[in-house]
């Protein structure tokens, strides 16, 4: 709750602990030194309250213009009447021109300029999974100069996953097929050994290893004499032999030589990965690296923010080395590591004094900073307090929606300015004509024509605002999506990396369909609404290909269609339901 990280913080005798957090293993006696309003959780609540109450209201441009415009028009109408009477006009002509000035002037067009554009903009955002809580947030977002990002659960997945597996003594030639492949005696055997030891542990790193083994179809070995060693790892017995799983400190304490893999372990650590050592019968058996992996679209999103002229800052409670590793992968401009909730709030407050700042986060520890920022943006899968503290909620929990939200704000503000310009331009042209300036050349307006012209101006403003319904985020390029995959130590870095281009994903999967040898019995095309960019394409594609009987799916962003290639009869309702569950609207084309 406090650090917001995916891995628990180790504690020992005498260390301070925080109320409302969870002890993952064992038991301990705690002395309550702070209670009630002095607790860390109460302090977070106080920071949120202070930040929320200190937000300055945004003055409406249209309100300021209308406040001047209406009395000015009344004065012009009075002056028009007086001038016509002075120059010898009839009372009827003077009244007609004065009334025409009042009728043709259009404060309603000015009044409609802002709310209609904001209403359409927020509706377009909601259809795209971007929920904007207030008009102020939508207005402010266009001026954002800095985006502050939480790391865990925002840039990264928020839970540890296995990235690399190394078995000691495994011949490199046998490692090329990847980890845990069925039939590979070395990888599967070591993974079975590691999963068996970790299965009884409740630690998130242990659960990551067990989940990975399950995904590979590898069952853990039978274990006896399970024992957790605080601050080190796990000791157990397998087939009568003592087995260990833990950190380097545990290996050194039991005189297990791991020096041959010191460089490899250091490389993993420099890359932000946690290394677990496994030993059997007094000898090192292997290593497994676990990390909170980066979300596929994080690098694309941060690159898009840079293209928009917005700087990025990553705030994290994690250590500096891990933070720097994430920085290298995704390209954030600045990193501040080891921060607590009050530190995040202070950093955002300091940055806000230099310009408009947005904060993106998902955890309880992010809530004060979300409330303090000019625009708080919460990940939809985050905690309730984060969502409550934010101004904008990203329902797809996708960082690529951050530049999309800012782009929507910029498009909305541009539309508002267009509305205000044309409303003012209309009045500047029409009011002099209504006052009778062009009577000398035969141009004279009566009140009925003026009323029709006034109504037309409002229709034009509303029509211009409705153009926002066609808005789509303009990403510079699809970019590359990095998907770290676990790999055996066969190369120089002990990992196998996979990259795929989002824009060509459909083509690749079509080729894979041909390689399977399965016959495609039919194709079904769906009309999909709500897709804005290539990561939306990836969402729809993944949803369709997750259905049994769908061999491949091709999604066309421009056409708004998705074509599913079927090897079995799949009901239309099943295809539509999959796309709807992914957050989009669909129907059979």
User: Residue 191 contacts by C-beta under 8 Å, 6 or more apart in sequence?
Assistant: 165, 179, 180, 212, 213, 216, 218
Q: Can you give the C-alpha Rg of the chain in angstroms? A: 32
Per the CB < 8 A criterion, the answer to whether 562 and 554 are in contact is yes
The DSSP output letter for 469 is G
> Which of the residues 49, 150, 257, 292 is marked catalytic?
150
Average pLDDT over residues 32-52: 75
Lowest mean pLDDT among 166-170, 402-406, 561-565: 166-170
* 0.95 exceeded by pTM: no
Q: Which residues contact 538 (CB under 8 A, 6 or more apart)?
A: 296, 481, 502, 505
How many angstroms separate the CA atoms of 55 and 229, rounded? Answer: 49
| Amino acid 62: pLDDT | 62
Q: Which long-range contacts (CB under 8 A, 24 or more apart) does 76-79 make?
A: 76/101, 76/105, 76/431, 76/435, 77/101, 77/102
Task: Tell me if 476 sits within 8 A of 469, measured CB to CB.
Answer: no
Please tell me the predicted confidence (pLDDT) of residue 210. 92
d(CA 66, CA 105): 11
Instruction: With residue 360 as reference, give the H or E element that holds it.
Output: strand 357-361
- Known catalytic residue at 150: yes
pLDDT band at 485 (very low <50, low <70, confident <90, very high): very low
8 Å CB contact between 335 and 354: no
Residue-level pLDDT at 47: 65
Average pLDDT over residues 535-549: 85
Phi, psi angles (nearest 5°) of residue 160: -70, 145
Element (H, E) at 361: strand 357-361
Question: In this predicted structure, what is the pLDDT of residue 418?
Answer: 86
∠ CA 114-127-589, nearest 5°, is 130
Cα 131 to Cα 140: distance, rounded to the nearest angstrom: 15
pLDDT tens, 552-565? 888 988 788 999 88
Contact present, 373 and 357 (Cβ < 8 Å): yes
Please tell me the predicted confidence (pLDDT) of residue 61: 62
State the pLDDT confidence band at 188, using cuts at 50, 70 and 90. Answer: low
Report DSSP letters for 105-121, one per residue: --HHHHHHHHHHHHHHH
How many whole angstroms from its chain centre is CA 362?
9
Q: What is the pLDDT of residues 246-275, one digit of tens each?
A: 999 899 999 999 989 999 988 888 888 889
Average pLDDT of 563-570? 84
Mean pLDDT of the chain: 79
- Ramachandran area for residue 405 (φ above 0: left; ψ -120 to 50: alpha; else beta): alpha
Q: What is the 3-state secondary structure (H, E, C) of 245-309?
A: EECHHHHHHCCCCCHHHHHHHHHHHHCCCEEEEEEECCEEEEEEEEEEEECCCHHHHHHHHHHCC
Please answer whether residues 547 and 575 qualify as being in contact, where contact means their C-beta atoms are separated by less than 8 angstroms: yes
Name the pLDDT band for 358 (thresholds 50, 70, 90): very high
Q: Which residues contact 471 (CB under 8 A, 6 or more apart)?
A: 121, 124, 408, 411
- Continuous H helices in 435-488: 447-466
Strand partners, 227: 235
Instruction: Give residue-wise pLDDT tens across range 434-466.
Output: 777 777 777 777 777 777 777 777 888 888 888
Whether the Cβ atoms of residue 378 and residue 153 lie closer than 8 Å to each other: no
Q: Residue 143 CB: number of other CB atoms within 10 A?
A: 14
Q: Quick one: pLDDT at residue 380?
A: 81
């Amino acid at each position: 709750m406090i650090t917001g990280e995916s891995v628990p913080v180790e504690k020992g005798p005498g260390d301070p602990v925080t109320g409302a957090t969870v002890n993952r293993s064992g038991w301990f006696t705690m002395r309550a030194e702070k209670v009630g309003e002095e607790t860390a959780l109460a302090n977070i609540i106080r920071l949120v309250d202070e930040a929320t109450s200190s937000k300055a209201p945004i003055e409406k441009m249209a309100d300021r213009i209308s406040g001047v415009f209406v009395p000015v028009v009344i004065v012009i109408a009075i002056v028009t009447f007086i001038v016509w009477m002075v120059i010898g006009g009839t009372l009827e002509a003077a009244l007609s021109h004065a009334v025409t000035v009042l009728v043709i002037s259009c404060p309603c067009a000015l009044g409609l300029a802002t709310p209609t554009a904001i209403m359409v903009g927020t509706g377009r955002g909601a259809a795209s999974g971007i929920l904007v809580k207030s008009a102020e947030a939508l207005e402010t977002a266009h001026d954002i100069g800095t985006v502050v990002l939480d790391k865990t659960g925002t840039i990264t997945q928020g839970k540890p996953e296995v990235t690399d597996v190394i078995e000691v003594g495994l011949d490199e030639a046998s490692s090329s097929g990847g980890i845990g492949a069925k039939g590979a005696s070395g990888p599967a055997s070591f993974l079975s050994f590691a999963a068996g030891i970790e299965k009884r542990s409740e630690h998130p790193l242990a659960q990551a290893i067990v989940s990975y083994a399950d995904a590979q179809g590898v069952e853990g070995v039978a274990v006896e004499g399970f024992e957790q060693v605080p601050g080190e790892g796990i000791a157990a017995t397998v087939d009568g032999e003592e087995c260990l799983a833990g950190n380097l400190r545990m290996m050194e304490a039991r005189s297990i030589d791991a020096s041959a893999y010191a460089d490899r372990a250091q490389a993993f650590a420099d890359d932000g990965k946690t290394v677990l050592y496994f030993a059997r019968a007094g000898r090192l058996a292997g290593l497994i690296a676990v990390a909170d992996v980066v979300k596929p679209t994080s690098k694309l999103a941060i690159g898009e923010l840079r293209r928009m002229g917005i700087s990025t800052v990553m705030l994290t409670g994690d250590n500096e080395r891990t933070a720097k590793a994430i920085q290298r992968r995704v390209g954030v401009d600045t990193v501040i590591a080891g921060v607590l909730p009050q530190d995040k709030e202070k950093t955002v407050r300091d940055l806000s004094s230099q310009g408009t700042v947005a904060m993106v986060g998902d955890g309880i520890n992010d809530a004060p900073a979300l409330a303090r920022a000019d625009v708080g943006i919460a990940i939809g899968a985050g905690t309730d307090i984060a969502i409550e503290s934010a101004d904008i909620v990203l329902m797809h929990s996708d960082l690529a929606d951050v530049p999309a939200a800012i782009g929507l704000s910029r498009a909305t503000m541009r539309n508002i300015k267009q509305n205000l310009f044309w409303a003012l331009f209309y009045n500047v042209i029409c009011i002099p004509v209504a006052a009778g300036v062009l009577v000398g050349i035969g141009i004279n307006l009566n009140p009925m024509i003026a009323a029709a012209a006034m109504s037309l101006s409002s229709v034009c403003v509303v029509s211009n605002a409705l153009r926002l319904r066609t808005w789509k985020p303009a990403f510079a390029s699809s970019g590359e999506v990095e998907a770290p995959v676990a790999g055996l130590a066969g190369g120089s870095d002990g990992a196998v990396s996979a990259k795929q281009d989002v824009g060509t994903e459909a083509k690749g999967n079509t080729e894979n369909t041909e390689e399977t040898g399965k016959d495609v019995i039919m194709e079904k095309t769906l009309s999909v609404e709500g897709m804005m960019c290539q990561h939306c394409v990836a969402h729809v594609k993944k949803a369709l290909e997750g259905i049994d009987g769908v061999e491949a799916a091709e999604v066309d962003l421009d056409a708004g269609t998705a074509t599913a290639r079927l090897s079995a009869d799949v009901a239309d309702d099943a295809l539509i339901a999959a796309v709807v569950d992914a957050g989009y609207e669909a129907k059979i084309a």
